[in-house]
Amino acid sequence: MPNDPVSSTEDVVIRQMRDQIIDNDLKLIQAINQRLTLVARLRGYKQERDLEFVDPSREEWMHRYLRGANKGPLSDDGLTEIYGHVLELTKRETAD
């Protein structure tokens, strides 16, 4: 029958879109790991010089900068939420 439903595992379009999504997810993981490496280096550098690791004014600047750079469809609220999670994760993951 021509109108038989195709399962999502057999649908070529769905499979291609899922492949693109997982490729993007892998890029996100790579970017987060890269960020963690850079922040760990910064944290070590600051510790050697007895400087505070967290700089609230820098974090606020980064939020504003990223909001300005965001072209969507991620909303400003969504960006604030996800970036807040990234900052907290980074602080936790790079703690001694």
Number of helices (H), then strands (E), belonging to the chain: the values are 3, 0
Query: Within a domain: residue 6?
Result: no
Give the predicted TM-score (pTM) of the model. 0.82
Residue with tokens 């280096």: 41
Of residues 11 and 25, which shows the higher confidence score? 25
Query: Within a domain: residue 88?
Result: yes
pLDDT the model gives residue 6: 63
CA angle, residues 41, 50, 86, in degrees to nearest 5: 40
Q: What is the DSSP letter of 19?
A: H
The residue type of 66 is L
Query: Within a domain: residue 71?
Result: yes
pLDDT tier for residue 1 given thresholds of 50, 70 and 90: very low
Report how far residue 45's alpha carbon sits from residue 41's, in angstroms, rounded to the nearest whole number.
Answer: 6
Model confidence pLDDT, tens digit, residues 21-80? 999 999 999 999 999 999 999 999 999 999 999 999 999 999 999 999 999 999 999 999
Structurally, the chain folds into a number of domains equal to: 1
Range of the domain at 72: 12-93
Query: Within a domain: residue 7?
Result: no
HSE value, Cβ hemisphere, 13 Å, CA-based, for 88? 6
